[in-house]
């Protein structure tokens, strides 16, 4: 069986999970780790019996590395990904793919002129409740979709390096999910938000117009004391409320309430397996670099809307 040799850049609160899963998967060999905190990198490397690199460039240029998984701070994404692509490495890059739209566009240009796979880490696409919702929408189980909404709330993580606001860090998950579930891009965005406890936007409400009567609404913050991750669908003949964390799925229609807990699956494992299979040529990535760029453009337009207090037309 062909396998993929992969190295992870950034093994903090989230990157260490990348390392764990790549070690567990049969299709991948975890061959290296890098973190600016060399002590942390050494500790994680020992846990997984792999190499800890002192020099990032050495790891990326290593002939033993086929792919790079980037879970470092957003401000470092572009430089690391470009170096990896230039050295012929496949790239999985955590959301948001870059700090700016211009950086993302340059990365896509580099990808097009190379022979590598680039995917963006939108983990929620791999949550069972999303697959169930896509099927419900496509088959019009509850009639036509009218409103899709999400709430992504919870406290700020003090152990994470923060170089992006709540919209590019948190709301962007739901921006991507809405595009994926509806199957088209929004035509405009109007957003409100503010900076209550932090120097950057730490709460936001985003209204997306998908045209033809379909609206998307996202509420996100770094403020509320308890973590909440919900997806709601309002349809012609009923409503859905689903929980990203518990993977419970509640459907209310005209006759009864159907409450079902999905068979729990780890979304990260599904995401990293799909990336490995794409790199090995078995399939296409579920999330493309273009998906990452479009989600970033919508997030940036949402920030512009807050600052200008205007509806921003989208041309994606």
Per-block mean pLDDT, blocks of 10 residues, the chain (316 long): 95 95 97 96 96 97 98 95 98 97 97 96 97 96 97 78 84 98 98 92 97 96 95 96 95 78 89 98 97 98 98 96
* Closest alpha carbon to 57 in 20, 28, 86, 90: 86
What angle (nearest 5°) sits at the alpha carbon of residue 76, between those of residues 70 and 78? Answer: 80
What angle (nearest 5°) sits at the alpha carbon of residue 87, between those of residues 84 and 89? Answer: 55
- The predicted structure's pLDDT at residue 157: 66
- The predicted structure's pLDDT at residue 256: 73
Q: How many CB atoms sit inside 10 A of residue 304's CB? A: 13
pTM equals: 0.95
Residues 160-207 have pLDDT tens digits of 556 789 999 999 999 999 999 999 999 999 999 999 988 889 999 999
Long-range contacts of 273-277 (CB under 8 A, 24+ apart): 273/25, 273/27, 274/126, 275/67, 275/69, 275/90, 275/92, 275/117, 275/119, 276/4, 276/6, 276/25, 276/27, 276/28, 276/67, 277/27
Residues 56-72 have pLDDT tens digits of 999 999 999 999 999 99
User: Looking at domain 124-267+297-313, what is its CATH homologous superfamily?
Assistant: Dihydrodipicolinate Reductase; domain 2 (3.30.360.10)
Helix ranges restricted to H, 48-169? 56-61, 74-86, 101-112, 128-138, 166
Matching fold, domains 4-121 and 124-267+297-313: no
What angle (nearest 5°) sits at the alpha carbon of residue 304, between those of residues 300 and 308? Answer: 175
- The predicted structure's pLDDT at residue 158: 55
- The predicted structure's pLDDT at residue 134: 98
Architecture of domain 4-121: 3-Layer(aba) Sandwich (3.40)
What are the boundaries of each domain within the chain? 4-121, 124-267+297-313
- The predicted structure's pLDDT at residue 163: 74
Side-by-side strand order, sheet with 4-9: 28-34, 4-9, 67-70, 90-94, 118-121
- The predicted structure's pLDDT at residue 159: 53
């Amino acid at each position: 069986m062909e396998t993929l040799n992969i190295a992870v850049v950034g093994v903090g609160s989230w990157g260490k999970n990348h390392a764990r899963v790549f070690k567990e998967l049969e299709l991948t060999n975890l061959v290296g780790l890098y973190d600016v905190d060399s002590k942390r990198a050494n500790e994680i490397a020992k846990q997984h019996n792999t190499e800890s690199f002192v020099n990032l460039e050495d790891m990326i240029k290593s002939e033993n590395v086929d792919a790079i998984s980037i879970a470092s701070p957003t401000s470092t994404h572009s430089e690391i990904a470009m170096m990896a692509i230039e050295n012929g490495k496949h790239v999985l890059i955590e959301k948001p793919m870059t700090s700016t739209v211009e950086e993302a566009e340059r990365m896509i240009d580099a990808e097009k002129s190379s022979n590598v796979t680039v995917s963006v880490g939108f983990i929620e696409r791999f949550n069972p409740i999303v697959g169930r919702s896509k099927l419900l929408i496509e088959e019009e189980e509850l009639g036509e979709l009218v409103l899709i909404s999400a709430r992504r709330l919870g406290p700020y993580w003090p152990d994470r390096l923060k170089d992006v606001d709540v919209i590019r860090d948190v709301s962007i998950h739901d921006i991507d999910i809405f595009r994926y579930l509806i199957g088209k891009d929004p035509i405009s965005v109007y957003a409100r938000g503010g900076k209550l406890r932090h120097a950057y936007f730490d709460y936001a409400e985003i209204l997306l117009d998908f045209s033809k009567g379909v609206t998307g609404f996202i509420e996100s913050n770094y403020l509320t004391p308890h973590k909440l991750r919900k997806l709601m669908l309002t349809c012609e003949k009923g409503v859905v409320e689903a929980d990203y964390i518990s993977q419970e799925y509640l459907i209310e229609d005209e006759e009864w309430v159907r409450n079902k807990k999905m068979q729990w699956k780890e979304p990260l494992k599904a995401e990293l397996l799909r990336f490995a299979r794409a790199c090995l040529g078995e399939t296409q990535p579920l999330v493309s670099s273009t998906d990452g760029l479009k989600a970033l453009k919508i997030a940036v337009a949402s920030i512009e809307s807050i600052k200008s207090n205007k509806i921003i037309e989208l041309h994606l």
